Structure 1
Amino acid sequence: MKDITRQTFLHQLTGLSAAVAVYPLIAWKTDEQADDGFYQKVIQANTKEVDKLRQTFATDIADIRRRLGFDLANLSAAFCEPGSPYYRKAELIPVMEKIIRFLVTKQQADGTLDFGNLASPPDTAFILEPLCTTATILKTADLPSLTDVKTLLKQFILKAGEALRTGGVHTPNHRWVISAALAKINALFPNPGYVRRIDEWLSEGIFIDKEGHYLERSMIYSEVIDRCLITMAHLLKRPKLLEPVRRNLQMTYFYLEPNGDLVTNDSRRQDQFMTVNCLPYYHDYRFMAIQDANPEFAAIARYIETVKGFDERINNDLLAYFLETPLYKQPLPTPKAPPVNFEKFFRETNLVRIRRNDTTTTLFGGVDFPFIVASGRSTSPNFFAFRKGEAILNYMRLSTSFFSTGYFHSQGITYAQGEYVLHQKIDAPYYQPLPDKYKLASGNYAHTPSTDGRFWNKMDFGHRPQSNIKTIETRIGVREKDGANELRFSVKGAAGVQVTIELCFNVGGQVSGLKKIDGTADSYFLNGESGRYTFGKDTIQFGPGLFKHTKITGLEGEVYSSHFGSLKTDGIHVYLTAVTPFEHTFRIG
């Protein structure tokens, strides 16, 4: 493995999309002044948000939504911040009362709300986060005019607190969402029962592997867990709860793309097929940068401030956090550049990240076997991705027509002599009659999966002798070479099997050197020596091509097609096609 080297953090900002502002490096060297100016921007963002909220709540509230909690927190922050033009403005009080009164009327007898899921303790916990923030902020304003708002808030929070103290969860992160909400309630209205329930959940253990992944391996839910652990550590005075947060944030940086996207190939949740942004991590990096005087976390926090959407999605809500937890308002330590040249092999999830300034490569070969399509399991067929500035190859996939087994899913990744190897071997048998001792006169045999995992039926497959076994073996070697990637494909075993290699580039770019596929909007064959994909000033070149057949549909295999499912995404799709046995060396850079 190559050693990680440190480069100036300015390089990280090179090649960002035009929509991403470049934060000037010199501003990081005057951190206290920068934070003074930044806080004024936080107040301004809150003011704009409150301007909109006054118009929004001029009409009746139609639906329960989590955002209502943040709306109330933002209104309370404006009311209590002396630097805000809305400071102690009476016109905000009826709006605050309208929101909390609506939530009280929608609260179930057990204290929960029906949104997201029915009578859901975890979803109720999510909205309690900003509602408790509101109650904390309003404690600083001892005004008779706020009595009704505070009374309704207390009523809602305490009733919901009982639901959280006794209610259950669905997913791993829900345990910590509920625990963090209970910690917030306890800070407002102390109750040993809340802490006992938190300890009951914590006694199960907070799993984090040695590389920094939580159980769900999800960029969405890892951020949720980080924030929950920060809340509990801060309010319960349990600094040990910050250790998994540090480890996860250290790992998350290596999943960060130059434009602010996060790699999600190895997630076990829905984001494995989504584009996820780093913006929500701002709170966590800022808190931990200040808490630990961590200069690299400070640099990442400063970087996130430059990412598209920061003002609309993060800054508009920050004032409430700053007022609730003064540590957020403290100056960041002087930033220090994280590495922008690195090669990291995450062996726990079989994911590789290679970054050379504004060029990145991602390899993935760690789906959960046996292969089952379900939430909570890693199933992504995206084994390779490549970014060169603004030019983005979202993914590369490989599929065969071998008994409709669908996309290639590597059985791990190995590394030797500068090459990463992805590999899969599939055996597809035919089945002989059951031995006499397993035969049933009723014919009502066990409902079992076929041994190759393609389908289920009441044929007791596990007890049947197999014959005519066919095999296909796929090997993909990936080597970084001269600033590009060389991929060596080998698919052997059964002869005459169609193989399709699929590349999906980001929407909005331009391609050349390809053959347009009739009847499609943005699909092409690569049948020549090379193709090009250009977005803005950046170009990815790739080739040589292969064109031996025209199969580009049904690539997902029988697991998906039996339920009319598809994994095809938006983008510019380019196909190489071959027939086994074949070997092919492909270069992209």
Structure 2
Amino acid sequence: MNRNDFLKLGTMAALSPLFVKATAADFSAPVDTELMNRLLTANNQQASLLMTSVKEGNLRFSRMIAYDIAVLTAAYCAKGSTYYHNAEVVSKIDLLVKFLASAQSADGTVNVGNLESPPDTAFLIEILGPAASIMRKDNSNDLKDVQQQLKEILLKAGEGLVTGGIHTPNHRWVICAALAQINHLYPHQKYINRINDWLGEGVYIDADGHYPERSGIYSGVENTAFITVARLANKPSLYAPVRKNLSMYYYYIEPNGELVRNDSRRQDQYEYAAKTSTLFYLQYRFMAVHEKNKLFAAICKQIEATKDFEKDVLTRSLFYFLEDEILQQQLPTAETVSDRYEKLFPTSHLLRIKEKNTTMTLFGGTDQPLLIASGRSNSPDFFSYRRGDAVLKYMRLSSSFFSMGYFYSDGLKKEGNSYVLRKKLEIPYYQPLPKEKRKANGDYKLSPSVDDRFWNKMDFSNRPVSNVKTLETIIRLTEIRGTVELEFELKGMKGVPVTIELCFKEGGQLTGVAAADANGNSFLEQGTGEYRSGNDVINFGPGANTHKQVLNLEGERYSTHFGTLRTKGEHVYITGTTPFKHKLTFS
């Protein structure tokens, strides 16, 4: 939601006794008055909307209920707030808390997508915990009844969380964070015991800094949870994985704040679920102050300059700053970051290169065998390229080789000064079963073909194969000062149509291309094309065009279910036929 320019408020000393310098000796930086003013103003605006919208018959249960409670709590408790100690705010909080209590199941859990879900309940507690802490600090008599209701909700939820289970890796740590919040308010050994039980499984983070789900969204979730458990349950060793993950994500943040997501194993590997770097802001800020980390301070400044900072951070974070005073502190002096890096992440087979305002990504780390399921990396987007506002969102390659669809590399390797993607497909035909494997009734095992293209009751694993057809794809990237050369070679079976798909960000202008159809698709048939967005330009080419096939590029895995991976954007196609060699330059 867009906001007007922030109002100029007075000094922080006049705002609230909650806005104070942290007392711990190692947190000695002064309060960031400017940021706290902006947070207060944004929270006032959100509270104003809630004062109108929160009413009987107008409530719908979701995670936003917890945010609404927290925003209104911050509005009531911050002395500089328009709604400081306003009794009408308490009545709105009371309405929301009663509504939340009515949504709790007998075991203390709630239904938010998943039914009677301990993890989703924990996500709520991560927000309600800070709200309850702010109420306790404020100590207003008018809040006593609401506080008691909220206590009953939290304790009831706690019972569900000390016994309840999870679905995904991050859920373990969200439950730990929620229990740490409850234990901080209402201490009991059973909460600590359950936290220790989950932590006993071990915290996995790979050599590059990925958590198991390799997801920006869920890295943010896990970092937030580990920070909470570290500071509220005295587990300082949990800062280490946060530090490692945030250090890695420095390379995943585009200049405009978008996140690289090619290697994610969750929904954000696809554009519809993409999030921006604002989801990491509070984590970078806490760690920058806590550890006096100058790089993290620089990343905070970068995030603060993005267009999403107000909507994603300012409008919904004041209560976090009131609960955790470390966030209020001024950042350490930011270090000057280099305008050049070249970073290969071997565990997920992802390459990131930055040269001034140009960034690029090369990816070859989809999980094999390729399965279309949550928790597995299966994006066909292997290359992207940006020059300022001019963005090639992705490149894909598809061939009409037995309906195998898009190219998915078997890893990414550095060879000399270049980086190479490679995949060899082998498609057989099947012979009769050996006599000792035959059944008179013909009832054979339902199984996948050896190339994972399809299933049938054919007992494929025991069948001899013949007439094996092959197609090998090699893509080599070489970069010099922001200019990229991609060499394509497809060999093996002859006469196979090949399609290179380029998807530029919607809204830009393409020149040098020819219209392919009425759907807005274009061919780069020869020469060089140009994509322009504002003052920024990407030149690409040369083109080639030996066929017109631009539909059903996903292959049989998707076409069987009438699915598509096509996204919004300006689509340009370069086509050829095997044996195919082509060289593309981006500059």
Normalising by structure 1, we get a TM-score of: 0.93
Corresponding letter in the other structure for 2:44: T
Contact 1:77–1:137, Cα closer than 8 Å, also in 2: yes
Map of 2:10 onto structure 1: none
CA drift of 1:108 comes to 0.7
Q: Is the partner of 2:452 in helix, strand or coil?
A: coil
* In structure 2, distance between residues paired with 1:117 and 1:588: 45
List per-residue Cα deviations over 1:205-240 (Å, max 9, x = no partner): 110001100000000000100000000000011110
Is the contact between residue 220 and residue 271 of structure 1 (CA under 8 Å) also seen in structure 2?
Answer: yes
The residue identity in structure 1 corresponding to 2:304 is E
Q: Distance in 1 between matches of 2:301 and 2:481?
A: 32
When residues 480 and 34 of structure 1 are mapped into structure 2, their CA distance, relative to the original with a 3 A threshold, is: farther
1:341 equivalent to 2:340? Answer yes
- Aligned counterparts of 1:100 and 1:587: Cα–Cα separation in 2: 59
Whether the 8 Å contact between 2:74 and 2:319 is mirrored in structure 1 is yes
Distance 1:453 1:127 in 2: 41
Aligned length: 560
Corresponding residue of 2:231: 234
**Structure 2 residue aligned with 1:540, among 533, 538, 541?**
538
Structure 2 residue 457 is the aligned partner of structure 1 residue 461? no
In structure 2, the residue matched to 1:204 is: 201
Equivalent residue number for residue 290 of structure 2: 291
Describe how 1:364-513 pairs up with structure 2 within 5 A: 364-513=363-512
Does the CA-based 8 Å contact 1:61-1:102 persist in structure 2? no
Q: Which residue of 1 aligns with 2:258?
A: 261
Following superposition, the deviation at residue 442 of structure 1 comes to: 2.0
Q: For each residue in 1:483-509, what CA deviation from the matched residue of structure 2 results, as whole angstroms up to 9, or x when unmatched?
A: 311011000000010000000000000
- Specify the code of the residue in structure 2 equivalent to 1:227: T
C-alpha separation between the residues in 2 aligned to 1:305 and 1:68?
A: 26
Shift of 1:339: 2.6
Q: Is the contact between residue 256 and residue 278 of structure 1 (CA under 8 Å) also seen in structure 2?
A: yes
Residue 86 of structure 1 aligns to a residue whose secondary structure is: coil
Measured in 1, the distance between the counterparts of 2:391 and 2:584 equals 17
Q: What's the TM-score once normalised by structure 2's chain length?
A: 0.94
**Alignment match of 2:557 (pick from 556, 559, 566):** 559
- Mapped to 1, the partners of 2:141 and 2:351 lie a distance apart of 59
Do residues 271 (structure 1) and 268 (structure 2) align? yes
- 1:158-197 alignment to 2 at 5 Å? 158-197=155-194
Mapped partners of 1:60, 1:328: distance in 2: 36
Identity %: 48
Find the aligned partners of 2:163 and 2:413 in 1 and give their Cα distance. Answer: 46
Report how far residue 59 of structure 1 moved. 4.9
Deviation sequence 1:525-581 (CA, Å, 0-9, x none): 000211010000001001111100010011101111111111111100000110101
CA contact (8 A) 2:105 2:116 kept: yes
AA partner of residue 588 (structure 1) = F
CA distance in 1, matches of 2:142, 2:276: 41
Determine the C-alpha separation between the residues in 1 that align with 2:200 and 2:445. Answer: 39
Match of 1:137 in 2: 134
- For residues 293-323 of structure 1, what are the alpha-carbon distances to aligned partners after superposition, in whole Å with 9 as ceiling and x for unaligned? 0111111112211111211221112221111
**Superposition pairs of residues 13-412 of structure 1, within 5 angstroms:** 35-274=32-271, 275-412=274-411
1:9 aligns to what? Answer: none
2:580 paired residue number: 582
What secondary structure does 2:87 align onto? coil
Per-residue CA distance 1:20-51 (angstroms, 9 max, x = gap): x9xxxxxxxxx978922221111111111111
Once the two structures are TM-superposed, the CA of residue 141 in structure 1 deviates from its matched residue by 2.9
How many angstroms does 1:142 deviate by? Answer: 2.8
Which SS does the other structure have where 1:425 is aligned? Answer: strand
> 486-495 or 511-520: which moved more?
511-520
**Partners of 2:301 and 2:46 in 1: how far apart?**
22
After alignment, is 77-86 or 385-394 more displaced? Answer: 77-86
- Of 332-341 and 490-499, more deviation after overlay is shown by 332-341
Contact 2:31 2:328 in 1 (8 A): no
1:368-407, Cα deviation, whole Å (9 max, x unpaired): 1111111111111111100000000000000000000010
**Greater alpha carbon shift after TM alignment, 536-545 vs 271-280:** 271-280
Q: For residue 117 of structure 1, report the CA deviation from its aligned partner.
A: 0.7
**Secondary structure of the equivalent of 1:262?**
coil
Contact 1:264/1:276 (CA < 8 Å) preserved in 2?
Answer: no
CA distance in 2 between counterparts of 1:517 and 1:61 reads 49
1:455/1:487 CA distance change after superposition, 3 Å: same
AA partner of residue 117 (structure 1): N
SS in 2 for 1:452: coil
For 1:312 and 1:579, how far apart are their aligned partners in 2? 48
Q: Give the Cα–Cα distance (whole angstroms) in 2 for the partners of residues 354 and 463 of structure 1.
A: 46
Q: Distance in 2 between matches of 1:170 and 1:355?
A: 37
Q: Deviations over 1:128-168 (max 9, x none)?
A: 11111111110123333222211110111110111111001
CA distance in 2, matches of 1:146, 1:36: 27
User: Cα offset for 1:462?
Assistant: 0.6
Instruction: Assess if the C-alpha contact under 8 Å between 1:322 and 1:329 holds in 2.
Output: yes
Residue type of the alignment partner of 1:315: L
Structure 1 counterpart of 2:194, which letter?
R
Unaligned stretches of 5+ residues in structure 2: 6-27
What is the CA–CA distance in structure 1 between the aligned matches of 2:256 and 2:282, rounded to whole Å? 18
Residue 415 of structure 1 aligns with an amino acid whose one-letter code is: K
Which stretches in structure 1 are left out of the alignment for 5+ residues? 1-18, 22-30
Q: Quick one: which amino acid aligns to residue 459 of structure 1?
A: M
Distance 2:62 2:207 in 1: 37
Paired amino acid for 1:524:
S
User: Matched residues in 1 for 2:537 and 2:370: separation?
Assistant: 36
Q: Which moved more, 1:392-401 or 1:138-147?
A: 138-147
- Distance in 1 between residues matched to 2:295 and 2:31, nearest whole Å: 17
Which stretch shows the higher mean deviation, 475-484 or 579-588?
A: 475-484
- Distance of aligned partners of 1:482 and 1:155 in 2 relative to their CA distance in 1, 3 Å threshold: closer
Query: What is the CA–CA distance in structure 2 between the aligned matches of 1:482 and 1:42, rounded to whole Å?
Result: 40
